Amino acid sequence: MKKQIKTILIANRGEIAVRIIRACKELGITSVAVFSSADRSACHVAMADEAYFIGEAPSSESYLVQDKIIETAKKCQADAIHPGYGFLAENAEFAGRCVQEKIIFIGPKAETIELLGDKIKARQKAIEADLPVLPGEEIDVANSNDALAKAESIGFPLLIKATVGGGGKGMRVVKSAEHFNESLIRASSEAKSAFGDGRVFIEKFLENPRHIEFQILCDTYGNVVHLGERECSIQRRHQKLIEESPSPVMTPELRQNMGEAALKIARASNYIGAGTVEFMVDRDLYYYFLEVNTRLQVEHPVTELVTAIDLVKEQIAIAENKTLSFSQDDISFSGHAIECRISAEDPQQGFVPSTGTIQDYRMPSGPGVRLDSGVESGSEISVYYDPLFAKLIVWGKDRSEAISRMKRALEEFRISGLKTTIGFHGIVMENENFVSGDFSTKFIETEFPNYEFEAADDKTIETAAIAAAIDKFKNESRINLQNGKSSRAAISTWSLYHRQRNMKKFSGSR
Amino acid sequence: MKKQIKTILIANRGEIAVRIIRACKELGITSVAVFSSADRSACHVAMADEAYFIGEAPSSESYLVQDKIIETAKKCQADAIHPGYGFLAENAEFAGRCVQEKIIFIGPKAETIELLGDKIKARQKAIEADLPVLPGEEIDVANSNDALAKAESIGFPLLIKATVGGGGKGMRVVKSAEHFNESLIRASSEAKSAFGDGRVFIEKFLENPRHIEFQILCDTYGNVVHLGERECSIQRRHQKLIEESPSPVMTPELRQNMGEAALKIARASNYIGAGTVEFMVDRDLYYYFLEVNTRLQVEHPVTELVTAIDLVKEQIAIAENKTLSFSQDDISFSGHAIECRISAEDPQQGFVPSTGTIQDYRMPSGPGVRLDSGVESGSEISVYYDPLFAKLIVWGKDRSEAISRMKRALEEFRISGLKTTIGFHGIVMENENFVSGDFSTKFIETEFPNYEFEAADDKTIETAAIAAAIDKFKNESRINLQNGKSSRAAISTWSLYHRQRNMKKFSGSR
Amino acid sequence: MAHYLVNANGKEFDIVIEKSGDSYRAVVNGREQTVESSSTGKSKSVMLVDGNSHEISINSNGYDNSRLVTVGGIEIELEIDNFRLAQLKKAAGNGTGKAALKKIKAPMPGLILEVKVNSGEKVESGQLILVIEAMKMENAIKSSAAAVVKNVAVSKGQSVEKGDLLIEFE
Amino acid sequence: MAHYLVNANGKEFDIVIEKSGDSYRAVVNGREQTVESSSTGKSKSVMLVDGNSHEISINSNGYDNSRLVTVGGIEIELEIDNFRLAQLKKAAGNGTGKAALKKIKAPMPGLILEVKVNSGEKVESGQLILVIEAMKMENAIKSSAAAVVKNVAVSKGQSVEKGDLLIEFE
C-alpha cells in the first residue's frame, strides 16, 4: 500500500541533517529538526521547517534518546523518521519502536538491521548466499587456548574484530602468535566498553587491501539494484577520508560480479531501502565480503554524481512503498566523482580535533562542485560531536578532471577560526600514488608517516613575510597620520621599543 | 598546428572572469586578471594567478581600452586572451589586433565577428544558408517616405532594430503607421549614440514569441556540432532573466531541424569556437533566425549541466587547434537545467540598480546546485558595471525537480547589504504559467505589470513582528541588567520616552 | 514582562513577551505562542515559534523605533514601540499607527531624467515620482505609500549621488 | 620608508617598504618587488607581488610582534620587528632570530592519557609530548620545534579544558 509521507523528523544533526532537509524541501515534505542545547543555533535548526529541543549536549542525553525522539515525532505528527548516519541509524531496537508507534522508519526492517549488525551472522548469511569471505572464525575470549589454536589455523597476520559495532573500535591487527592473547583481551574489552558486547571474531588479515563498497537500493516489492562502487581506501584509523567512484581498479566484469554479489546478500537478508555492501579487494582483484551498512553512508554523494540518482529521495520513495522507477539496466555511470571529508582537525598534529567558532566561511562553487555542509559563518564546532562538518564533492568527465577540479575547489575553500583538513586534502590530490590510483588502505601511514605533511614552500613564506611587512607599514602610517605626522616620518625606534614594553605589561607575558 | 596555451589573460571582470579562471586552474593554465581602480579587491583579482591594473573605474578607461589590454598581455607573456562576454567580446577590431600581435583571441575570427555583428549581413547570410527569417528590410532613415512604404509592405506591428549592437538599445515596436516616423528617428538616434552607427532595419514583429537559442561549437577543421537549445523567453526589456534547457516546447524533431539550421549558418560563416544562434519561435512552433552571438553567453551553464560538456574548456581546446573530441552523435542530453540571473537590483522598484557592500553572503549548495559568482562577503557592487553579479544554476532529473530545487536553492541564498533579484526569482518559480511552461517573451509584463510582486504573507509579517518584539525584549533586559536592575523590572514608560526624545536629538530627524 | 505595539505593512500587533525558562511566551493579539530565539551572529538569529523555524535578521539604530526585519530572506520594515508609550503618542496625535513615508533618497548615483510630481501634490502608493538614468538604464522611482509632496529637491537634468534627497513628503 | 626584519619558519627576511603612488616598493633581502595591497575585509586583503596575486589574512594583537599570516589558505606564523630594534634586541641577547616555542596549551577539552616528557628534558621538533583523549579518539600532541621542557603542568589521568597550559619550555 502506497503512503504519501507529509512530515519527516530528522533524528540527526550537522551536514547529513541539512542534506535530508534539502531533499524534503524539494519534495514538498515538512522537515522537522531536533536539537540539543549545543545546537540551538545550528544550521539544521535554522533550515528545517520546524525544530524541537530534545536535551543536553552529550548525544546520550539528546540525539541518542529514543523516547525523546519518538515523543517529538508524535507531537509534530511526523509520518516518518530519517535517522541519517550514526546515532540511531543502525539501532534495530529504535527501528522496531518506530514500527510499534506507527511511524515509518526510513531504513531497513529491524530484523535486517539486527542480522547484518552482527558481523558473525552477517558473515554466515554471506557464506550461504555464496559470497567470498576471508577465512575467519568466532572465538571464545575466555578459552584462550582454543582461540590461539583457531588463530594459528587461520595464520598470521590476522585481524581481531568486534562482533557488533564499527569505526575501528575493538579492532586489532595481530602479526604473530606471541601478541595474540594480549590483543584479544584488549580488543574484547574495548568492544565491551564501546558497544556493550565483548564478543570478537578473527579473520585473515590482508596486507594492502583496497576498501571497495557497493551502493544498493531495494524496494518493498523485492526489486533490487546496485548503483556501482565507491573506492574508500584512503582511510586513517579505519575512518574514511576520501572516497571516489568509479574505483581506479574497477573493470566492467569485476563491477558486474561484485554488484551481483552485493545483490545476493541484499536478497538473502530481505533488504529494504538504501544500503552499502563493503568488500576488501586484494592486489589480484580478488574480493571478499566485509559487512553491510544498513544506512545512508557519509560518502553517498559520489554515487549520486556518477549515476544522477538522488539517494535520499529514493530512500523516501521506498519508504512510501513506491516501486523503484528504474531497473539495473537503466542505471548508467557517467564521469568520475571524488569526495573529501572536511573535518575540524589539525592534520599536522595527528588529526587532533579543533573546536571553536567558524569566522570566515567561503564556500567553493562553480562547475562540477558540490558542498554538503552543516555549518556557516558563525557556527560553533563543539567537542560533543563528530568533527566532520562538511563534504566537498566534485564531478569530472574523467578521474584526471575530477582531481584537478577538487584541487581548484579546495583552493577556493576558506575557513578561519579553527584548523581543518582542507590543506591535507590538497596535499593528497598532488600525491603521485593517489594520482596514479595506486594505493591501498595503508596509503596514509605509508605516504605520511607521523602525519608529517609538506610545509609551506619558500615562495609562500616570503609572500607571508612581505604581507606582514606591508601590513605593519600601513598600520604605522595610519598611527603617524593620527598623530599629525607625515606618513613618511620615521617613527623613533627607541620610543617604539618603550611603547612595546609598556604594552606588554598589559597584554600578559608571551 | 596544435599549440599548447600556457597563459591566458582574461579581459573581463565579475562572475565570467571567475568562471574562466576556474577553467584555467583546472587545466593548469596561468590565469591573468586585469582590473580597474574600482576592482582592486575584486574576486577575479584575488583568484587569478596574476593581476594587473589597467585604468580607472569607467570601462571606457579600463576594460574597453584595447591598448592597455594588449600591452598587459605582452608584459605577462600571455599566449591568449579570453574576452568573456560584453566589453571587447564581440569587437572585430580587437580580435584582429590580437592576431597582429600574435596573441590567440579565444573566439571566432575577426571577419566572422564583423559579418555576424552586422544584422543586415547576418540576415543575408542566413537567407543564403536557407534559414527561415522574418519578413524585413533595411531602410534609409533619411528617406522617410520610402521607409514608410517598406514598413507598410511588411505590415504592422513591426520592429525597428539597430543594424549593429544589441541589448535592446535602438529597438522600437511600432503598432501602426502613424507612429512609424517618430519611432524610426528615435531608434536611429539611440543606435547612433549607443553604437556609433545610426543604421536601422525593420522586421515583422511576432506578438508572443519564444526566444530559443542553440549553442554551437566549431573547431578549426570544419567540425561543427550543436549542444541543444536554451529557452530564454523570460526577459525584461530584452534582458534575459531566467534560462533553461531543454525548452518546455522542444520536440526531438524540432531540435534536429533547428540544430541543423544553426549549423548551416555556422558553416556558411566559417565559424570557429563557441557561439549561439538565436531564434524566435511562434505559437505554432515555426522558427525564425534572429542573430548569432559570437561569444560565450551568460547562460552557457545550463547547456553545460545537461550535456556534461565544459564550454570554456572546449573554447580553449579549439583555440589550441585541437579537434573536437566528440561528434554530434556523441552528444546526449540528460535532465533539465535552469539558471536564474542574480542582479543587484530592486524588483519592487522597477528593477532599479542597487549598489553597496555585500555584508553576509550565504551561498546555496547541496545536490544539483551550482553558483557562478563574482562576489563574496565584503565585495563592493559599484555603479560602473553590469548589476549581474552571480548566476544560480540547478540541475534536476526533469523540469519539475529542477524548479523545486531552484526554489530550495533560492531560499538558502542570503545576501545582505543591498537589494537583489533572489526573491523575484522565487516568485517566478511559483508562477503557474512558468511552472506549466506556457510563456513567451511577454511573460514579465503580462504576469507582473508595474513590477508589482506579491508582498510578504500575513504569517511572515506576524513572524517579523514577533522577532522585533523578542529582540527589543532581549535588549531591554540587557540594559536593565547593566543598570543593576532585575531583568523582570518594568522600565518606566515615561523615562524611556524622554530618553528616546533625547537620543533623537543626536541621531538626527527621521 | 513587556508589552509592545508593532506596526508592519499596515497591520497592528499587540504583543506581550515574557521569559519562560530558556524560551519566551509571546501573546500576539491575544494568541499565545512559545518562542525560542538563538543568536547566530551579529543581528542574526534562529527563531522557533511553536516549533516553526525562521531565520531572522534585524537591523535597527539604537533607540529609533523602526526596524528592518528579514524573515527567511523576505524584508519587512516595521515600527515597534512600548505599548503604553504608543498609546500616549497616539493620544498626542503623533501615532506610530502608520509608518509614514517621509522622504525619497536617490537609490544610486545618476541623472534625473524626469520629475513627475510637484510640491503640494498628493501621490498614491506605487505612483511614478521620477526617473533616474543610471548604469545606462532608466529607473522608475515610485512612491511606496500615499503621501503629499512637501518639497521636490531635484530637477530634470540634475546629477545626483547615492543618498541625495530627492523628494520630501508632508 | 620603513625597514623590518621578519622571521618565518626559521628564515630571516630583511624587508624595506616604501610607498610609491598607489602601490609599494618592497626590497626583500636586496631584491626589489612591486606590491599592491587592497583590503577585502577585516584583516583580509588581496596582495599583488610583481603581479602575482595572493589572498592574505593577518591576525595580530596590536603591538605584539607575532603574526599569523594566511597566504591562499596556508597558515604561517612569523615574527616581525623594526630592523634596528631587532638588531638592538639581538645585541641584548633577546633576539627575535628564532620564533621560540614557549608553551603548549590544550587544543581541546579532554583527558590526559599519557605524558611522554619530563621537566628539564630536551625535545626535538615533531617529538611526541603527550596524548589527550577527546571525542573518543586519542590525539597525539607533538612539539613544533626543538626546545627544553621547563615545566610539565599536567599529569596522566587529569581532565583539561581547552586552552589549559600543558607544557612550558625554557
Please say whether the beta carbons of A375 and A389 come within 8 A.
yes
Give the C-alpha separation, A106 to A407, whole Å.
Answer: 35
Nearest-CB residue to A493 (from D64, D66, D85): D85
- Write the burial class of residue B102 (CB in 10 Å: 0-12 exposed, 13-18 middle, 19+ buried): exposed
Please say whether the beta carbons of C139 and B352 come within 8 A.
yes
D55 → chain B, closest CA residue: B46
Nearest-CB residue to C46 (from A46, A49, A377): A46
Q: What percent of chain A has pLDDT over 70?
A: 93
The answer on pLDDT for D57 being more than 90 is yes
Is residue A175 classed as helix, strand or coil in its secondary structure?
Answer: coil
Phi, psi at B457, each rounded to 5°:
-80, 170
Contact C26 B466 (CB under 8 A): yes
CB-based contacts of B410, cutoff 8 Å, min separation 6: B340, B364, B392, B422, B423, B425, B426, B429
Q: What is the pLDDT of residue B192?
A: 86
Q: What angle do CA B450, B452, B458 make, to 5 degrees?
A: 160
| Positive or negative: CA dihedral C70, C76, C80, C83 | negative
Using an 8 Å CB-CB cutoff, list chain A residues near D67: 468, 471
**Minimal C-alpha gap between A500 and chain C (Å):** 33
Tens digits of residue pLDDT in A128-147 = 999 999 999 888 888 888 99
D38 → chain B, closest CA residue: B41
Q: What is the pLDDT of residue B506?
A: 36
Interface test with chain B among A15, A16, A21, A22, by most B beta carbons within 10 Å: A22
Q: Is A366 on the interface with B (CB under 8 A)?
A: yes
Tens digits of residue pLDDT in B298-356 = 999 999 999 999 999 999 999 999 999 999 999 999 999 999 999 999 888 888 889 89
**Minimal C-alpha gap between B320 and chain D (Å):** 25
Say how many CA atoms lie within 13 Å of B131 toward its Cβ.
Answer: 30
Residue indicated by cell numbers 559570437 = B294
Q: Is B435 on the interface with A (CB under 8 A)?
A: no
CB-based contacts of A321, cutoff 8 Å, min separation 6: A1, A2, A3, A219, A220
Contact A45 C44 (CB under 8 A): no
DSSP structural state of residue B258: H
Q: Looking at chain A from residue 20 to 79, which residues have their Cβ under 8 Å from any Cβ of chain B?
A: 22-23, 25-28, 47
The answer on pLDDT for D79 being more than 60 is yes
Using an 8 Å CB-CB cutoff, list chain B residues near D46: 40-41, 45-46, 51
Q: D144: pLDDT confidence band, cut at 50, 70 and 90?
A: confident
Give the C-alpha separation, C167 to C147, whole Å.
Answer: 11
Chains A and C in direct contact, meaning 3 or more beta-carbon pairs closer than 8 angstroms? yes
Q: Which residues of chain B have pLDDT under 70?
A: 166-168, 455, 480-510
In this predicted structure, which of B386-390, C93-97, C152-156 has the lowest mean pLDDT?
Answer: C93-97
Q: A167: pLDDT confidence band, cut at 50, 70 and 90?
A: low
Roughly what angle, to the nearest 10 degrees, separates helices B422-430 and B399-412? 150
Q: What is the pLDDT of residue C41?
A: 81
Using an 8 Å CB-CB cutoff, list chain D residues near A414: 55, 73
Q: What is the pLDDT of residue D135?
A: 61
Tens digits of residue pLDDT in D100-135 = 567 888 877 778 888 888 888 888 877 888 888 776
In this predicted structure, which of A460-469, B86-95, C60-69 has the lowest mean pLDDT?
Answer: C60-69
Average pLDDT, chain D: 84
Give the C-alpha separation, A471 to A485, whole Å.
Answer: 19
A237 → chain D, closest CA residue: D137
Q: Write out the three cell numbers for B203.
A: 522586421
Using an 8 Å CB-CB cutoff, list chain B residues near A372: 365-367
Chains contacting chain B through 3 or more C-beta pairs under 8 A = A, C, D
Tens digits of residue pLDDT in A332-351 = 999 999 999 999 999 888 88
Give the C-alpha separation, A356 to A420, whole Å.
Answer: 11
The answer on pLDDT for C152 being more than 50 is yes
**Minimal C-alpha gap between C75 and chain B (Å):** 8
**Minimal C-alpha gap between B194 and chain A (Å):** 33
The answer on pLDDT for A218 being more than 70 is yes
Here the ipTM equals 0.84
Nearest-CB residue to D53 (from B49, B377, B378): B49
**Minimal C-alpha gap between A357 and chain C (Å):** 11
Q: Write out the three cell numbers for B475.
A: 535588549
Contact D108 A466 (CB under 8 A): no
Contact A50 C53 (CB under 8 A): yes
The answer on pLDDT for C31 being more than 80 is yes
CB-based contacts of C20, cutoff 8 Å, min separation 6: C34
Contact B397 A372 (CB under 8 A): no
Find the helix or strand (DSSP H, E) in which A397 lies: none
B67 C-beta neighbours (distance < 10 Å), count: 9
Contact A363 B367 (CB under 8 A): no
Q: What is the largest CA-CA distance in chain C?
A: 61
Size of interface B-D (CB pairs under 8 A): 41
DSSP structural state of residue A287: E
Please say whether the beta carbons of B48 and B21 come within 8 A.
yes
CA dist list (Å): A143 to A139, A184, A192, A401 = 8, 11, 17, 54
Find the helix or strand (DSSP H, E) in which A295 lies: none
- Write the burial class of residue B328 (CB in 10 Å: 0-12 exposed, 13-18 middle, 19+ buried): middle
Which of B193 and A52 is assigned the larger pLDDT?
Answer: A52
Q: What percent of chain A has pLDDT over 90?
A: 77
Q: Write out the three cell numbers for B457.
A: 504573507
* Alpha helices (H) along A83-229: 92-100, 110-117, 119-128, 144-154, 180-195
Cα–Cα nearest to B104, from B222, B8, B2, B217? B8
Chains D and C in direct contact, meaning 3 or more beta-carbon pairs closer than 8 angstroms? no
Nearest-CB residue to C40 (from A48, A53, A378): A378
Using an 8 Å CB-CB cutoff, list chain B residues near C80: 465, 468-469, 472
Catalytic residue among A97, A172, A295, A405: A295
Please say whether the beta carbons of B305 and B370 come within 8 A.
yes
Q: What is the pLDDT of residue C100?
A: 54
B356 → chain C, closest CA residue: C108
Give the C-alpha separation, A20 to A9, whole Å.
Answer: 10
Please say whether the beta carbons of B341 and B391 come within 8 A.
yes
Q: Give the predicted TM-score (pTM) of the model.
A: 0.87
Q: What is the pLDDT of residue B211?
A: 97
| Residues in B lying within 8 Å of D, measured between beta carbons | 32-33, 40-41, 45-53, 76, 377-379
Report the catalytic residues of B: 295
Cα–Cα nearest to A85, from A33, A22, A10, A196? A10
Q: D98: pLDDT confidence band, cut at 50, 70 and 90?
A: very low
Contact D40 B46 (CB under 8 A): yes
Count Cβ neighbours within 10 Å for each residue of A371-395 and write b for 16 or more, e otherwise: bbbbbbbbbbbbbbbbbbbbbbbbb
Please say whether the beta carbons of B5 and B80 come within 8 A.
yes
Contact D17 A469 (CB under 8 A): yes
| Positive or negative: CA dihedral B38, B40, B41, B42 | positive
Using an 8 Å CB-CB cutoff, list chain D residues near B48: 53
